[in-house]
Chain A
Amino acid sequence: MAEQNQYPQLTGAEILWATLVGEGITTVFGYPGGAILPIYDALRKFPIHHVLVRHEQGASHMADGYARASGQVGVCMATSGPGATNLVTGIATAMLDSIPIVCITGQVSSKVLGSDAFQEVDITGITLPITKHNFLVTRAEDIAATVRKAFQVARSGRPGPVLVDITKDAQQAMAAFSFEAAEPAPARPHPMLKTETNAFTDAIELIRAAKRPVILAGHGIVESGAREQVIAFAEKLQVPVASTLLGLGAFPTYHPLSLGMMGMHGESWVNESIQQSDLLLAFGMRFDDRVTGNLALYAPNAKKIHIDIDPSEVNKNVKVNVALIGDLKKVLDALLPMLGDSPVAEDTWDRANEKSYGEPPTEWLREIDAMKGTASVRDIINLPDNGHLYAAHVINDIWREALDAGRLAQTVIVTDVGQHQMWEAQYYKHDAPRSLITSGGLGTMGFALPAAIGAKAACPEKDVWVIAGDGGFQMTASELSTIVQEGYAINIAVINNGFLGMVRQWQEAFYDKNYSASPILSPDFVMLAAAHGIDGATVSKRKDVTPTVTKARTSGKAFLINFQVEKEDGVYPMIAPGAALHEMVRRPTKDPLLETAEDE
């Protein structure tokens, strides 16, 4: 107790901010209200920038976007009751994609907890299944240790969201503050986080025996920082790499071993090679139903090696032969030297020029090349301009423009959810990790605009693009005002097709074109932007895409482009629910020769 006297006495509110400063936080996203007013009152004393959102859902998405762009923990805050419940969608979004965020909520005074006091809601109860952990703090002296623990939990192991609910009386009471004394005990590693040595031996055996291996690259590569190890592994054995949606950019797309995205809207040869593989190496991915198709028919001849940090993912969806549990980077560091001499000495990869020359070096890679078949002829990108504007064109041109301007490595794309999200994944070539921010697990419409604000706050030097549908954009469009208040130069591409496009596509394919509640009316987005003081333009011709994109990128201010695209366009290839991964609906083609000869 005597020791306590040497520490300064602060209010609980001040302790919160001081702890956040200690954790390296410089920006928080939030919205004030009664039960969190003591915290807002103390804000001015601390070197932390507060971004005022327009809806608390925006705050949790911004913290999420901040974390995805920077790799650091994002922080958001809200008042009790409705403020706290508004955070929920963003918390669930972060949970499903394993994103580290810390959410601070104000709570009614501990004396009235449980009495249905004004704006009281049991937010720790509500968020229990969508947080990695949550805390209710009722005493000022517990705030520092709890918040530090929250950061540790959010960051450690498989990352995720943590919520700290602080009662108003705890914010107002005084307590001694010491950042050091509040340091949590080292994170408890998951007790099953260990790999038997014989698992390594088994893995090596399977790898040596494989003739048709495929690496499945997931988000874990980015979280673990294992990019170099994965590249080394792939190159050493000349293993092709297929990516999940959240794995895009984890392995460089320019690399000749990169196949592209797998799953429901993956290219045909990517899914085909997974189905024909004899060994799947799952690196930091979780065999989500969007990437496996019908589980009973998934990669029937392939042995499976699963490397993941979360033991509860092992054998969850797909039964695997060997599980190497642990941080991907560490596991690969242990595995790489055990691979011995590379069975494929030569590759045909000109590293200096980042180009491949000659035939792929293995039989398996040549087979995969052959699988590409007619895919590129069918691709809208390679078809002659027919005067229509397709979303694929827009996204391809946004990518090209950044590439040609030498800004590719400095560009972050934040997508919403729907058709445009899948086209983005298909047509924007992501070379760098954290260059694509998208809601994969929860598929949250309305994510893009606020998440982009978080990304811009984290990386002000980068070009940040929002790519959103006309539906999802309207869900959180109120955050346009936040962009202006913060002076952020964020570029916004609305892919406007007059429909909830992805819903319309499913209705076309599976509900007899009964377009129930999928046509959507929108305001004039350019005028909406103008009302906020944001410049904008409408584009409906292919030739205008690139110049307008350049104009937006170089304007130095926020800019909105309303792309008026083909209304009833579809995302292909597509795997219908219940179908096997290789049973794709290919891109439709007008060419009768292709239709009959090559299509299965």
Chain B
Amino acid sequence: MLHTFVALVSDKPGVLTRVASLFRRLNINIVSLTVGESERADVSRMTIVCEAPEHAAHRIKASLYKLEITVNVDEVGRSEAVIRELCLIKVEAGPSHPLGQNSRSQIFELANVFRARVVDLAPESIMLEMTGAASKIEGLIQVITESGYNILEVSRTGRMAMRRGQHTSRVMKALGGPNGANDDAKLTSAEILPNEFDDVHEEEE
């Protein structure tokens, strides 16, 4: 099954290699990995989507925490988080296309339906930008192809995830606030990671 982990890691050279190397060592295939800045200057945020058996999640999380560079790890499910991906699609269309001028307007229409935006218009191509769940992006790509258009290039960022509601801010609070300052009372790890070993107990009886 697909697991989605959000890892906060210290922003130092070589951090990406350490995380990637861990997954290679565990022989787990990374489906997508995005890295970027977070709300804290010294912390990068990674969303890692990987294919692994259900019971592997605990070990992946525990192993991620073993890396010295790891600040926090959270496994997020579909229902509790907003999961988005950004995609750029370049489609062949324009006056010289077999469908002529119509080609452009038809692509515009399709883009509209999927709430994609036209971000570049060239004599022989159109570039679309779309943000959404992976399935929506795949839907757009499929429709364009099935309508007889030639897709020239696709670039996808891979998924980014953020929990809905308060959860993430609670984590950041425990870490000492957005700016690294010590806010209020720190939460205990029990509050952040409820029922860590549920999967250990659940098996019997």
Give the residues in chain A near B195, CB-CB below 8 Å: 196
A373 an interface residue at 8 Å Cβ cutoff? no
Give the residues in chain A near B36, CB-CB below 8 Å: none
Q: Of B18, B59, B196, which is in contact with the most chain A CB atoms at under 10 Å from its CB?
A: B196
Name the distance in Å between A204's Cβ and chain B's nearest Cβ: 14
> Which residue on B lies nearest to A319, using beta carbons?
B203
Name the distance in Å between A137's Cβ and chain B's nearest Cβ: 12
Give the residues in chain B near A314, CB-CB below 8 Å: 58-59, 62, 197, 200
Give the residues in chain B near A320, CB-CB below 8 Å: 200
Give the residues in chain B near A190, CB-CB below 8 Å: 62, 65-66
Give the residues in chain A near B18, CB-CB below 8 Å: 128
> Which residue on A lies nearest to B197, using beta carbons?
A323
Give the residues in chain B near A125, CB-CB below 8 Å: 17
Is A315's CB under 8 angstroms from B200's CB? yes
Is A194's CB under 8 angstroms from B55's CB? no
Give the residues in chain B near A202, CB-CB below 8 Å: 201
Cβ 8 A contact of A153, one of B58, B65, B68? B68
B199 an interface residue at 8 Å Cβ cutoff? yes
B63 an interface residue at 8 Å Cβ cutoff? yes
Is A312's CB under 8 angstroms from B14's CB? no
A133 an interface residue at 8 Å Cβ cutoff? yes
Cα distance, A132 to B65, chains bound together (Å): 12
A-B CB pair tally, cutoff 8 Å: 71
Name the distance in Å between B151's Cβ and chain A's nearest Cβ: 37
Is A315's CB under 8 angstroms from B65's CB? no
Name the distance in Å between B66's Cβ and chain A's nearest Cβ: 6
Give the residues in chain B near A321, CB-CB below 8 Å: 200-201, 203-204
Q: Which parts of B9-40 form the interface with A (CB within 8 Å)?
A: 14, 17-18, 21, 25
A199 an interface residue at 8 Å Cβ cutoff? yes
> Which residue on B lies nearest to A160, using beta carbons?
B66
Cα distance, A324 to B78, chains bound together (Å): 30
Cβ 8 A contact of A311, one of B25, B65, B203, B204? B65
Is A192's CB under 8 angstroms from B65's CB? yes
How many chain B residues have a CB neighbour from A under 8 Å?
Answer: 29
Name the distance in Å between A397's Cβ and chain B's nearest Cβ: 43
Name the distance in Å between A135's Cβ and chain B's nearest Cβ: 9
Q: Which parts of A89-138 form the interface with B (CB within 8 Å)?
A: 124-125, 128-129, 132-133, 136
Q: Which parts of A306-339 form the interface with B (CB within 8 Å)?
A: 310-312, 314-316, 319-323, 325
Cβ 8 A contact of B62, one of A124, A129, A192, A319? A192
Name the distance in Å between B10's Cβ and chain A's nearest Cβ: 11
A128 and B21 in contact (CB under 8 A), knowing A314-B200, A321-B203?
Answer: yes
B193 an interface residue at 8 Å Cβ cutoff? yes
Is A194's CB under 8 angstroms from B201's CB? no
Name the distance in Å between B3's Cβ and chain A's nearest Cβ: 15
Cα distance, A194 to B65, chains bound together (Å): 13
Q: Of A191, A202, A303, A320, which is in contact with the most chain B CB atoms at under 10 Å from its CB?
A: A191
Cβ 8 A contact of B63, one of A124, A191, A312, A323? A312
B189 an interface residue at 8 Å Cβ cutoff? yes
Is A196's CB under 8 angstroms from B196's CB? yes
Residues of B bordering A, CB below 8 Å: 14, 17-18, 21, 25, 55, 58-59, 61-63, 65-68, 72-73, 189-190, 192-193, 195-197, 199-201, 203-204
Q: Across the A-B interface, give the 9 residue pairs with the lowest CB-CB distance, nearest first.
A: A312-B62, A311-B62, A133-B68, A312-B63, A323-B200, A191-B189, A312-B59, A128-B21, A129-B25
Pull 18 A–B residue pairs with CB atoms less than 8 Å apart, ordered by A.
A125-B17, A132-B68, A190-B65, A191-B65, A191-B193, A192-B65, A192-B193, A198-B201, A199-B197, A312-B59, A312-B62, A312-B65, A315-B58, A315-B59, A316-B59, A321-B203, A321-B204, A325-B197
Residues of A bordering B, CB below 8 Å: 124-125, 128-129, 132-133, 136, 153, 190-192, 194-196, 198-199, 202, 303, 310-312, 314-316, 319-323, 325
Q: A191-B72, A198-B201, A322-B200 are in contact. List 5 more A-B contacts (CB 8 A).
A: A153-B68, A196-B195, A199-B197, A314-B200, A320-B200
